Chains A and B, each alone.
Chain A
């Protein structure tokens, strides 16, 4: 549980900073800049033991034997866990809530399907002892040939995923008949979320009650998994996640290392802390799957698209299923009368891939937004103009109106700020000394994912307001925007609001992923706060002890923590004074956005699975965020090094609850996109099927020196079809389209089309 008192906004913010839409500084900021913020694994517990994982060194085969004798004899060792000695768990349901097969679950593997799979764990009195002893565990294997990656000859064509097929018109025939045809293949490598805080947890059992301190994007979903693994009631599991040191999709699910730590804690009767090493974070859970796409576009000589045929492939693991929806942007970005998209997944010896910032939309946009750029050059039309000529006035796939689509406005605002009109169209036509300069544009989009949430708002005796929710803040600003929502709705200064998040004992929230949390939770807090305010005003009007009782008013106004009549006559008292006069020490209201007839089972399903999320095309509208990136690169003609020198992005996330924090998220997405375009790539040792650059020195993420100043422009308007307060998604959106904008800029600079990320120097010289 974490408590934040809001101290202040920026000096320059003025009073409005505290309302929804204001630029209030991060309310969890003071704790984070002073080191006072305690992240999950930083809880200080008595009797803590330390666990360290032992991982497979082969990618495929069987564990023949595990020799634990030396490890067990090492100083301080309390337990060595192997598949033979760890307690038996039950298989848990997946995130859709699908009933699991009735069979045991062992988080330590006998059958090896990827290198880096957990095979054993050592628990010791100290971290140093556990590390040393883990190195003494000797594992022998019977190794079999592994399928290293998508390019492996043994990989095959994979499994067709029919649910991904999207078709209308007759795309192959229209392509064949089109006067202008382009066809190209686009590849993205394995990429990793690499949050700065490694995955880890502290697990503690008290009888059959389990408390887990773990960075989590989804407390209730993870609590469900732990409960099912250990066959205890859901209510017996408490997840605590006060701060999350970055997730980017990777911290939404309970993972096998969590099962190991919680098992160890149960077996030892002591709290156990297990934190992955940085190399383990590359195989302990999945990054973004490697993808392959072919995009063919048939168009007329004016660049008007007649047909798009798209085929995609992503990798998944040997025994798990991950589908990275590669046709998601392809099918909605441009108007086309004929369309076909199909996708296969291919099994390789990898940990099952997972969600990483804008899963699906991100690689999908790399394909279509590169391809339309190729079409622009083919027909000799400006890359911005061709996007406007093919502008989709409605959702081409769902055939529904957009709820809001400020993409045209984004193109206009971004082009104006960037100076796009001054672009010289020909490749290699702009330079500064030995640097070739290129300007590229690409668009991005992300669907509005909606769900239901729950919150409690309390007005306390001292006139302060308290908000509780089991949702979380991993840097998006949840603490801050919920404080702003409650402050504005009840009518108190924001520094009188305390927001408590990150504890599964609080009112429930679904997954923080797919950019849904802000819209869901501001809606729930708004509803709860409105209800609390109604109670407060009702008491003031009707309670015989209230100073307003004699006023016979129909309503009262609450502002800045004071209550008065709308006409300004009669009494004017603080909330604290009113509550004292009517003898109340608290007003409490629960707000949830669930349908009125929801059962307890519906609620459980809503908060612990993603099965009840509302489709973004539900009803009459298709709901998405949109963006346009304008990027300048400088390419050293001799060395082929690419630097991003200028970025202007215009984004439509609907209404922004706090522009200061939304801009930070947008810039963060753009920067991750720069990394994706130029640096990030999991590199395989093909002999052993092993990631060789599994650390932060060799898996290159952008550093400060790689990043120019970034200009972001909000072009959104409130979208009440998307959320209660009018916002659309923020966090996932901005990465989408960055990589193709950079690839397009590199083409403009050099005349070389790189269709295979990342764009490294050997591809340019």
Chain B
């Protein structure tokens, strides 16, 4: 399959890649760019582990072709902390022990940041609903809710 040039803007850095058009954003991140913080759990948009932000909105990187993200601003878990300062959602995940094995965690955190930004963190019920697309088999859900609640208050203040 012929490769095409794909320019990706990820975490404020510009990357020029030669990719087959069928390469997903997820595999471009993990296999071509070494950005393995974004996880592959199902490759079918069922688990949320690959959640990244494209132009500030949460997107499943496994259901997005890399070429589709050209010209957009991509943020992955590696780009969330600014100058070594954890994002309030990251800090809250650590404090609330909102993860165990850590594999779903980058996707949970990217979803949580967007969930708060969307205004969907107004109550525990709302957080549960709008975080329901990110599976966690270790069962950290109650602590994820606590972390999102805590971070939402910090972001608002």
Contacts and interface: CB of A to CB of B under 8 A. Distances in A.
B101 interface: yes
Given A35-B77, A42-B36, A278 B102 contact: no
Given A127-B27, A195-B137, A25 B46 contact: no
Interface in A443-487: 474-477
Contact of A128 (B27, B86, B94): B27
B63 interface: no
A62 interface: no
B46 A696 contact: yes
A106 interface: no
Highest count of chain A CB atoms <10 Å: which of B49, B93, B101, B124? B101
B31 interface: yes
Interface in A1-47: 10-11, 25-26, 28-39, 42, 44
A671 B102 contact: no
Highest count of chain A CB atoms <10 Å: which of B1, B40, B132? B40
A668 B94 contact: no
B137 A34 contact: no
B37 A34 contact: yes
B78 A695 contact: no
A696 to B, nearest CB: 4
Given A696-B135, A704-B131, A35 B103 contact: no
A610 to B, nearest CB: 23
Nearest to B89: A33
Interface in B30-86: 30-31, 34-44, 46-47, 49, 76-78, 80-81, 86
A527 to B, nearest CB: 27
Interface in B106-157: 106, 109, 124, 127-129, 131-145
Q: Is the interface of A mostly helix, strand, loop or mixed?
A: loop
Contacts of A127: 27, 31
B137 A196 contact: yes
Given A25-B94, A75-B1, A660-B97, A35 B36 contact: yes
Sorting the interface of chain B by its residue count into under 10, 10 to 19, 20 to 34 or 35 or more gives 35 or more
A272 to B, nearest CB: 14
Interface stretch (A115-123, A309-317, A705-713): A705-713
B90 A128 contact: no
B36 A39 contact: yes
A82 interface: no
Highest count of chain A CB atoms <10 Å: which of B1, B22, B102? B102
Contact of B134 (A35, A671, A704): A704
Interface in A695-742: 695-697, 701-710
A33 B90 contact: yes
A34 B49 contact: no
A126 B27 CA distance: 10
Nearest to B95: A10
B8 interface: no
Given A198-B40, A277-B43, A669 B139 contact: yes
A21 to B, nearest CB: 16
A333 B100 CA distance: 30
Interface in A22-81: 25-26, 28-39, 42, 44, 75
A35 B78 contact: yes
Given A29-B94, A75-B1, A195-B103, A701 B137 contact: yes
Interface residues of A, number: 65
B87 to A, nearest CB: 9
A509 interface: no
Contact of B103 (A128, A196, A665): A196
B137 A194 contact: yes
A664 interface: yes
Contacts of B81: 34
Nearest to B125: A705
A663 B44 CA distance: 32
A695 B97 contact: no
B9 interface: no
A248 interface: yes
Interface string A254-296: 0000000000000000000001011000000000000000000
Contacts of A493: none
A197 interface: yes
B25 interface: no
Given A35-B36, A697-B46, A704-B131, A672 B139 contact: yes
Highest count of chain A CB atoms <10 Å: which of B1, B97, B128? B97
27 contacts: A32-B99, A33-B90, A33-B94, A33-B105, A34-B37, A34-B77, A34-B78, A36-B78, A39-B39, A128-B23, A196-B103, A196-B135, A197-B103, A198-B41, A246-B137, A277-B43, A474-B101, A661-B97, A664-B140, A668-B139, A671-B139, A695-B44, A696-B44, A704-B129, A704-B132, A705-B131, A707-B141
Sort A-B residue pairs by CB-CB distance and give the 8 closest, nearest first.
Answer: A35-B37, A475-B100, A245-B103, A671-B139, A32-B102, A668-B139, A475-B101, A35-B77
